[in-house]
Amino acid sequence: MKFRCERDELVEAVLAAGRAVTSRGSSLPVLSGIRFELNGGQLRLTGSDLDTTILVDQAVTGDEDGVAVIPAKLIGDIVRALPPGKVEIAVDGDDARITAGRAQFTMRTIPATEFPRLPEPGDEAVVIPAGAFAEALRQVTVAASTEETRPILTGVQMSAESGGLRLVATDSYRLAVRDLPGASVLNEGQSVLIPSSALRELGRLLSGAEEVKLTLGERDATFTVGNDRLTTRLIEGEFPNYRGLIPASQPNRLTVARDALLEAVRRMRLLATDATPVRLVMSGEGLELVAIAQEVGQAHESLDAKYEGTELTVAFNPEYLIAGIEVTPGDEVTLETTDAMKPALLRSIDNNDFLYLLMPVRVS
């Protein structure tokens, strides 16, 4: 195999495919590499950890077709460090030679025959606008768990909802729900559970794209974005029944400028170390934020806000609260509460397609 390509294009392709390469130890050493396959002027790069696979097609100047698996981390580090301009990669036997200007590297390849055969997507695909889908992924993946001990909670549930698509994620401390009206991807009543880690990678691929094609198989989902393709295994199991957690109405309602609240909570977090909660004191006079860290100090800040309801103090994990505010759209947000221990509902006053439910923290 031998081809030439601009360094910046090669870097982008290698890094994209490399994001699916396993970072943990694997029984298959070949999965630590990226599979390079050259056919004429088309180079296909594939990275996989068997759960998630990213495939990238890149146009190159090809001299000799072939297949090779090259260690992902090393090839990524090398191509990023090369000088701008043309890069030549030539594979001869068990060695790959990378040349750019006066720089030359030689590295051992991994036997390509050991690379697993990966499933091909089906023929029936639906098209989703990339911009709205990317925003929806950004909003819901923050609420998914990263604890592998409860794999169900590491996923995002996609389901058919009122003629559209609903995305839901929860880690049992918070819940994010985003509706995409008019996105007919699934049949009514159908749902699938997709790993949030794969959807975060998909979010990167969606940057600047106009549309994404989704193909659902029995056990996997494939997203095609331009020349890139991400395939991920679906999570098997029953997603928690979250609907009962969302209150139909809340007696207390705080309305505040989104950016002002976000910056204030970030300042409170400077003192709120070791999971110290941030207290929100809500009254007719507005909103006061308080952080009390024993043996460290205190922080207070007041904000202009409109409050309807009974005077109330409610405390939250500052990281979870910040994450929710960051992904809630609009200039103003509302925080709806019942009491200090029941779930609070955060959403935009301008957009009803997204909500973020957050469990309070008990404080003395």
Mean pLDDT of 98-117: 94
Cα separation of 251 and 34, whole Å? 55
pLDDT at 18: 95
Helices 318-327, 258-269: axis angle to 10 degrees equals 160
Model pLDDT for residues 277-286, shown as the tens digit of each residue:
999 999 999 9
Higher pLDDT pick, 212 / 187:
212
Mean pLDDT of 176-198: 86
Do the beta carbons of residue 300 and residue 292 sit within 8 Å? no
Cα separation of 17 and 135, whole Å? 22
Name the residue ranges covered by the structural domains of the chain.
Answer: 2-114, 126-243, 246-358
| pLDDT above 80 for 183 | no
Q: For tokens 């970030």, name the residue.
A: 266
Beta bridge partners of 223: 214, 230
Backbone CA torsion sign across 329, 330, 332, 337: negative
User: Closest by alpha carbon to 185, among 203, 164, 167, 206?
Assistant: 164
Q: Do domains 2-114 and 246-358 have the same CATH topology?
A: yes
pTM above threshold 0.85: yes
Task: Please give the CATH topology (third level) of the domain spanning 246-358.
Answer: DNA Polymerase III; Chain A, domain 2 (3.10.150)
pLDDT at 26: 63
Do the beta carbons of residue 227 and residue 301 sit within 8 Å? no
Structure-token pair, residue 348:
């935009």
Confidence of residue 24 (pLDDT cuts 50, 70, 90): low
Structure-token pair, residue 20:
């699916």
Model pLDDT for residues 322-359, shown as the tens digit of each residue:
999 999 999 999 999 999 999 999 999 988 899 999 99
Model pLDDT for residues 279-316, shown as the tens digit of each residue:
999 999 999 999 998 878 899 999 999 999 999 999 99
Which CATH class, in words, describes the domain spanning 2-114? alpha beta
> In angstroms, what CA-CA distances link 264 with 267, 269, 329?
5, 9, 17
Beta bridge partners of 287: 282, 303
Do the beta carbons of residue 168 and residue 180 sit within 8 Å? no
Helices 7-18, 72-81: axis angle to 10 degrees equals 150
| pLDDT above 70 for 274 | no
Q: What is the DSSP string of 269-312?
A: HTT--TTPPEEEEEETTEEEEEEEETTTEEEEEEE-EEEESS-E
pLDDT at 25: 55
> In angstroms, what CA-CA distances link 302 with 265, 275, 281, 313, 364?
11, 22, 9, 13, 21
CATH architecture under which domain 126-243 falls: Roll (3.10)
Beta bridge partners of 70: 34
Model pLDDT for residues 145-156, shown as the tens digit of each residue:
999 889 999 999
Helices 196-205, 130-141: axis angle to 10 degrees equals 140
Alpha-helical segments (H) within 56-195: 72-81, 130-141
